[in-house]
Amino acid sequence: MANSKVWLIRGSSSGFGRSLTEAVLKKGDRVVATARKPEQLDDLVKQHPDAIAAVRLDVTNPQEVQAAVKLALNAFARIDILVNNAGYGAVGAIEEVSDEDIKRQFDTNFFGALNMTRAVLPTLREQRSGHILNISSLAGVVSFSGAGIYCATKFALEAVSEALAQEVKPLGIKVTNIEPGSFRTDFNGRSIVTSAHPIADYAGTSGRVIESNQAMDGNQPGDPVKAVTAMIQVVESESPPLRLALGEDAVNGITQKLDSMKAELEAWKSVSLSTRFEGETGGVASQSTT
């Protein structure tokens, strides 16, 4: 196991996290597997006692985040791949979702991933190597009625990842956003929290989208085992992508979004370019801000 990689995987008890943990162990790598209920990983610990360390982790608890990183280093002396996987979906029209649910959604999906990343970065910088996989979503590129708050957490994760990739590239650290479409995990089931106060005016928009997604539960076209195989392929690549869409629906949805953005940009280009001071001819800074 001298040349094996060490993975720190958030949310290892179910879904992509469980499938990825199993696949990583099967290929001979080592894993620090985190879960709110680490006893759900007892079967894997029994099968691979020297290759897995299971630890409780509530990503909204900064002390537990730091403890998970410390345990990983104590157990295996290094961290090669961080997988920010844990998350859930708070669904409902923007007006319907409560303040409390919005805060909890961001605390788990965005700040949990951000805090975990920041906790691991000192180790990766010292090693001058490592790879961070952020499990984003098609919803990190395309926003959907009825899932605006969930999409906002994934858009934020995408933005941080894009900046981080530029910051750490000279240090030998890689960053990839994984953007799955619909996969046959429990995400559309127990990982969905629906607004307790639906508003009738949104029944035909957000309400219809939410019903459609719930009806798909158990029949999603994506295979989680094939998805984690793709994730491992990314980690093993010398030139991994910043973004990897997974599933035909993700590829099609992102393609349509990009085509729509380009068409709208071109349609309004003359208005966009009309805002320059008269007589100015200099180029526009590529990373200017308002």
- What is the DSSP secondary-structure string of 111-129? IHHHHHHHHHHHHHHHHT-
> Which of 12, 13, 150, 195 is labelled catalytic?
150
Active-site residue, from 136, 182, 195, 206: 136
Asked about 27 being catalytic, the answer comes back as no
Among candidate residues 154, 161, 195, 206, the one labeled active-site is: 154
Q: Tell me which CATH code domain 6-251 carries.
A: 3.40.50.720
User: How open is the CA angle 115-120-126, to the nearest 5 degrees?
Assistant: 145
* φ/ψ bin of 223: left (φ > 0), alpha (ψ from -120 to 50), beta (otherwise): beta
What pLDDT tens digit does each residue of the chain (290 aa) get? 557 999 999 989 888 899 999 999 999 999 999 998 889 899 999 999 999 999 999 888 999 999 999 999 999 999 999 999 877 888 899 999 999 999 999 999 999 999 999 999 999 999 999 999 999 999 999 999 999 999 999 999 999 999 999 999 999 999 999 999 887 666 544 556 677 688 899 988 887 777 776 666 656 767 888 999 999 999 999 999 999 999 999 999 999 999 999 999 999 999 999 999 987 776 555 554 44
Active site residue 150: yes
Q: Look up 237 and say whether it is catalytic.
A: no
